[in-house]
Structure 1
Amino acid sequence: MKNYVTYRRVSTKDQGKSGLGLAAQDRDIGLYLEGYSDQPYEIAGSFTDIASGTSDDRPELTKAIALAKQVGAELLVAKLDRLSRKVSYISTLMDDKKLALRVASMPQADKFSLHIYAALAEQEREFISIRTKAALKEAKAKGVKLGGLRDKTMKRNEAVQANAKLRAEKVSGLILPLRKAGKSLRDIADELNKAGVQTARGGQWQASQVKRTLERLAS
């Protein structure tokens, strides 16, 4: 009998109350259990935190890890960022020989692969912050006032554009080779989803989003 302890996380109380994000995590966990788990399986426990992925204060995750170790179960999460957004924290868990970790959206990924994904995601978040600040600094140098409703809108639009361009550049190493190999937009979207690569909003890729990304890379 294969044992699992499932863990879910949402960032706000509103998401926790509405179920926003939880349904998607349940879906991915369910798909993994039905399609990739050794049969039969049993859920030893399920835990949910309402907290930021950068927060160290997540009591339900602590309980989930303890139970997984106690019963010899795999800790199963829908996506790697549900576990944590800190690569240092994820690395600590991976170094724990008493804990087995599984990510539903990357069913074939081993610990080494998960470590790489975590490191790339952290670098991306840091670079987004740096690039956004640089874009705002440049706008200010050009005389753009950042106060007031109109200026706040301009500030937000510039940040969105900068982030969109950055996101396109980050996934170019995956998208461009597939496109050169003759893959359709839908095929590329499927490959990105299989690899566990999320869109800017943390969702699944569609052909239209791949098209927009290619257009940004070409601009």
Structure 2
Amino acid sequence: MKKYVAYIRVSTTKQELGLESQLSIINSYIGKNDEVIKLFTEKESGRNNNRIELNKAIEFTKANDAILLIAKLDRLSRNVAFISTLLDTKVRFKACDIPTADNFTIHIFAALAEREVGMIRERTKAALSVIKSNIETNGHHISKNGNVVTKLGRTELKKEHWELGQIAIKMKRANNENIKRAKAFASSLKENGMNFTQITELLNKNGFKTSTGKEYHNTSTRRLFVE
């Protein structure tokens, strides 16, 4: 029997992966003979790395020779330095969405998530720059939804952030999530000098599946780089 300590973080803003969703993922992950001996919850922004409840969860996990369990890796943080610090505590932990990941793959996924956040931030910055320029030139800016913006106040900023967020969500849903993550993972491995055989082996070892739910072979791995 495995002993788990579950940690759930919900954002300070409304989000899809809330408390009940994460609990459902965790309950589906643990085996029927396993046990969650304690649950820690925290309402905190992902940008804040000073997590009081997470620190308590880590100490409790280590004291009880258990495994810290989270629903998704990004529930901890999208910050590579934070993930590295967590690994340095030597606490055993598992992410339900990447159950077979070792320290190496966890670093890769954290780096990819951090990069995605940075890209969204840059796109938002560029969009706001266009809005400002249009207001200065024309006296107003018309958003994609037809909203007329005449000044960059807090309300308008929130509105544009929301619209950009909706675009990002739609783009994410338009792609097959398994393939998207497999492509990112495979690309990182290739950049580190691995060949297709090695990449295929690691894809299968870490539980990745093709769009039809099958294991990867060299042919399907190569296809990731041309799709």
| Shorter-chain TM-score tier | 0.5 to 0.7
Residue in 2 that maps onto 1:4: 4
Partner deviation per Cα, 1:77-101 (whole Å, 9 max, x = no partner): 001111123221111112333x111
TM-score, structure 2 normalization: 0.62
Q: Does 1:24 align with 2:9?
A: no
Compared CA separation, residues 172 and 13, structure 1 to 2 (3 A): closer
Tell me the distance in 2 between the aligned counterparts of 1:157 and 1:61.
Answer: 29
Question: For the Cα contact (< 8 Å) 1:7–1:61, is it kept in 2?
Answer: yes
Correspondence list, 1:56-95, <5 A: 56-95=49-88
Compared CA separation, residues 128 and 71, structure 1 to 2 (3 A): same
Correspondence list, 1:46-125, <5 A: 46-97=39-90, 99-125=91-117
Q: Which amino acid aligns with 1:174?
A: I
Q: Which ranges in structure 1 are unaligned for 5 or more consecutive residues?
A: 179-186, 192-219
Question: For the Cα contact (< 8 Å) 2:78–2:111, is it kept in 1?
Answer: no
Q: Which ranges in structure 2 are unaligned for 5 or more consecutive residues?
A: 150-155, 184-209, 215-227
> Which 4+ stretches in 1 moved above 6 angstroms?
168-173
Structure 2 counterpart SS, 1:4: strand
Compared CA separation, residues 161 and 54, structure 1 to 2 (3 A): closer
Tell me the distance in 1 between the aligned counterparts of 2:22 and 2:112.
Answer: 22
Report how far residue 167 of structure 1 moved: 5.3
- Higher RCO structure (Cα 8 Å, ≥6 apart): 1
Structure 2 counterpart SS, 1:55: coil
What root-mean-square deviation, in Å, do the aligned CA atoms of Structure 1 and Structure 2 show?
A: 4.0
Tell me the distance in 2 between the aligned counterparts of 1:70 and 1:90.
Answer: 20
State which structure, 1 or 2, has the greater radius of gyration over its C-alpha atoms. 2
Question: For the Cα contact (< 8 Å) 1:76–1:101, is it kept in 2?
Answer: yes
Q: Does 1:33 align with 2:59?
A: no
Q: Which amino acid aligns with 1:88?
A: A
Question: For the Cα contact (< 8 Å) 1:135–1:162, is it kept in 2?
Answer: no
Sequence identity percentage:
40
Structure 2 counterpart SS, 1:6: strand
Question: For the Cα contact (< 8 Å) 1:11–1:53, is it kept in 2?
Answer: yes
Structure 1 counterpart SS, 2:148: helix
Report how far residue 168 of structure 1 moved: 8.5
TM-score, structure 1 normalization: 0.64
Report how far residue 40 of structure 1 moved: 2.8
Correspondence list, 1:127-146, <5 A: 127-142=119-134, 143=137, 145-146=140-141
Work out which of the residue numbers 150, 153, 177 in structure 1 matches 2:148.
150
Question: For the Cα contact (< 8 Å) 1:124–1:170, is it kept in 2?
Answer: no
